[in-house]
Amino acid sequence: MKLKIVCSMYMFLLALIPSTAFSFVNQVGDSILIVNEHNLTISGLNIFEGNITIVNSSNIVIENNNILNSFYFGIFVYNSINVTISNNIIKNSYYDGISIRNSKYVEIKYNIITNNTNGNGISVWDDSKYININNNKLLYNLYGIFVLSSSNVSIFNNSLSNIYHYGVYLYNSSLTKVPNNSIRNSDVGIEIIMGNLISIQSNAILNNLVGIYIGENIGNLTIIGNLIQNSKYFGVLIYNYPTTFIFKTNAFMNNVLNVFYAYNSTIPKISVSNSTILTTIKQSDSHLVKLSPIIPLLLLIMIVFLVYLFLFRKGRR
């Protein structure tokens, strides 16, 4: 209860900070608060039970810091522009490792974000735009990467594993690209609810309960060239069919069921004719797939041989 009160007061104080008028860099304990600052680098700090908060600022670099056991977010960026967050280690934050709110042109790269069990590894929300999230390693977070009501977000080359709920969660996002990520050992690899112009491409989505979940109110969705493997329940679970849906060249391997249409058998069926389907073949026996086209021919040859052998013996009698 004490922690919730502290966090609520923290947000209230941020709301009171004017967007202009004054600027300062303040340190309370191990926490650093930066307001209305420009062209500033924060580097090489060891922060224990504190965090870094950026408000109404621009051209800020946060790099090579260790942030451990924050009572709030590890790094919080609010109403700021041109912020780079790179090569930080963020562990055991009470909420999100990195949270971006109402900000633009933010790059989050080469960070290690772990054990934020009450929040997300990275969250982007409140109409943030032009956000690049790349080459980060996220482990043991409640959600991996969470995008809410934001646009022009690119999520690529990240490694997400042992996420408790969703590896990548997109809610009411638009112009969002998710290519070349590794997502494994989560409840759902990628979940999409609401939004438009979303591309999911060339990801390795492995060992999740559900590989990709497609929810309601999605405009244009593209899912191309992904490997979806070892899903305990479904490779792709479709709750509602997107208005425009491109689905091709995906590879399914060892999923209990490749595609499942929840609650509605009348929605259009996606075509998997141009995808690789290896559902019933164990990975160690995948060489059998190459033999499957010639099995009927081998059976026919065997039958002909047995008939010939039978007639040959009958003729000799």
How does pLDDT run across 198-227, given as a tens digit for each residue? 999 999 999 999 999 999 999 999 999 999
pLDDT class of 100 with cuts at 50, 70, 90: very high
pLDDT of res. 118: 86
Which of 3-12, 20-29, 86-95 has the highest average model confidence (pLDDT)? 86-95
pLDDT of res. 36: 96
Beta strands in 111-231 (DSSP E): 112-114, 120-125, 129-134, 137-139, 143-148, 151-156, 159-161, 166-179, 182-184, 188-201, 204-206, 210-214, 220-224, 227-229
- Is 50 exceeded by the pLDDT of residue 4? no
On average, the pLDDT of the chain sits at 84
pLDDT of res. 104: 98
Q: Rounded distance, CA 166 to CA 185, Å?
A: 10
pLDDT of res. 273: 54
pLDDT of res. 262: 79
- Range of weakest confidence among 23-32, 124-133, 164-173, 282-291: 282-291
- Is 80 exceeded by the pLDDT of residue 30? yes
Q: Are 231 and 252 in contact (CB under 8 A)?
A: no
pLDDT of res. 264: 61
Task: Calculate the CA dihedral of residues 223, 224, 226, 229 and round it to 10 degrees.
Answer: 60
pLDDT class of 283 with cuts at 50, 70, 90: very low
Look at strands 89-91 and 166-179 and give their pairing. unpaired
Average pLDDT over residues 176-188: 98
- Is 90 exceeded by the pLDDT of residue 117? no
What is the phi/psi pair of residue 212, to 5°?
A: -130, 130
